[in-house]
Structure 1
Amino acid sequence: MAAVQKVPDIVVGRLPVYLRALQVMAAEGREITSSQELGERLGISSAQIRKDLSYFGTFGKQGTGYRIPDLIEHLRRILKVDRTWDMILIGAGNLGHALAQYQGFTPRGFRLVAIFDNDPEKIGRPIGPHVIQDVQELPEFVRAHRVQIAMIAVPASAAQQVADLCVEAGIRAILNYAPIHLKVPKRILVQYIDPAIHLQQMTYYLGNEG
């Protein structure tokens, strides 16, 4: 039996970018595109786009390009967002409020189902359609609803403890907004969102102009 080809993480990371661009094209009423046009929109070479897609099969036809609705559906299946993923949010501070009210999750396959915090002043208060719950209720909620994804938006000092609670409850993927590296078992998927890191990367290049 032939070995299954491992898809590089950097390729997986570009697929949502392709999907978003294609969805914008679809909203514009477009039906057909090409790797050249898609690349020009994204600043990625057409050869790189074709190579990335080739990991998952053959899409489009030479000379006619890609049917946008078809490629969107292919990418949704590959990324497993052709279904809705329930997720929880831990942390109801300013960032937590912003995340809880962000309208971009649902159209892309994610549904926020609960918000947790440990502040007695916040517990019981509403954020949109949700009521903030005590973080001590998190394990029971996760198990009862079979939630696999958690967003952590707590201070760095509390993030590891929250991550441990999530792992123990059965969470399999964490989106971490706290500016700290989490120590979790290898089976747990973690993505880090730290705007300051990206700003520091940009200032490196700004400081080396010329």
Structure 2
Amino acid sequence: MIAQRDQLNAVGGHADERSVAGTDQRSIPEATVARLAIYLRALVGMGKVGVATVSSGSLATAAGVNSAKLRKDLSYLGSYGIRGVGYDVSLLTDQIHKTLGLHQNRAVALIGLGHLGRALAGYAGFASRGFRISAIVDADPAIVGTRVRGLPVQHVDDLDAIVRTENIAIAVLTVPAGVAQEVCDRLVVAGVTSILNFAPTVLAVPAHVDVRKVDLAAELQILSFHDNRKSARADCEPARSGSSTMAVGP
């Protein structure tokens, strides 16, 4: 495997000499970053079953993209592929891990312990993907002080101290829309610069703060549109198949 990795790094035209640290992450398009997370999930799965190398076609299929797009995305990192051999799964996994900053085991604060918040608090997949929920926060006196997954539920009024003490890198908001902006403002003041927002509202933040919005209802509405379109198409097909052309005489 070591010899293969040396070969992967040495082949001209297929390997980028830039190290991870030398990669200008600011030049990577947002859409590519989103697909890198999908590639990583596929690669991790392959690694678990002992796959050592993977072709661009196989990885693209596993990720649901075409091969050309995958190769273009990986070129932003420095492609490690060899024609006729493919990509070293372990090496590429490590590359994407570092590019996405997942080697740092980032601390996450979960704000809001409703049904969705509790579900996220219990999700075991965060730890395996480079994140750990280090703080759970709510405003309900009946909840504050209880423990969830071994963590004490802390009060939202203590956000400044929580962010500082736990070295919070990312906050996940699962609060009602009516209080989301207020909580967001507190997080920004506390120094949080990355927020995953599940609240059904658009947050106003300074330019240095990154917000990703997850709107489950909107996603369902999009699926409803596609389902409605497929239904309309299916309704038209019998009429088309049953139609016939009649010759009209003079």
Give distance in 2, aligned partners of 1:145 and 1:102.
Answer: 20
2:189 is the counterpart of 1:168: yes
User: TM-score with structure 2 length normalisation?
Assistant: 0.80
Alignment of 1:20-35 (within 5 A): 20-35=41-56
Aligned-partner residue type, residue 152 of structure 2 = V
Structure 2 counterpart SS, 1:112: strand
Match of 2:119 among 81, 98, 101: 98
TM-superposed CA distance for 1:200, in Å, is 0.7
Tell me the number of residue pairs that the alignment of Structure 1 and Structure 2 aligns.
207
- Per-residue CA deviations over 1:133-170 (Å, capped at 9, x if unaligned) read 11111111212333121001111111111100000000
TM-superposed CA distance for 1:7, in Å, is 1.7
Match of 1:138 among 145, 159, 166: 159
User: Percent identity between the aligned chains?
Assistant: 40
User: TM-score with structure 1 length normalisation?
Assistant: 0.95
TM-superposed CA distance for 1:16, in Å, is 0.4
Match of 1:16 among 15, 28, 37: 37
Q: Which residue pairs with 1:183 in the alignment?
A: 204
Q: Which residue pairs with 2:141 in the alignment?
A: 120
Match of 1:157 among 178, 196, 206: 178
Q: Which has the higher helix share?
A: 2
The 8 Å contact of residues 77 and 95 in structure 2, kept in 1 or not, is answered as no
Unaligned runs of 5+ in 1: none
Give distance in 2, aligned partners of 1:95 and 1:180.
Answer: 16
Greater C-alpha radius of gyration? 2
- Per-residue CA deviations over 1:155-194 (Å, capped at 9, x if unaligned) read 1111111100000000010011101110011110101111
Unaligned runs of 5+ in 2: 1-23, 234-250
TM-superposed CA distance for 1:63, in Å, is 1.1
TM-superposed CA distance for 1:42, in Å, is 2.4
Aligned-partner residue type, residue 176 of structure 2 = P
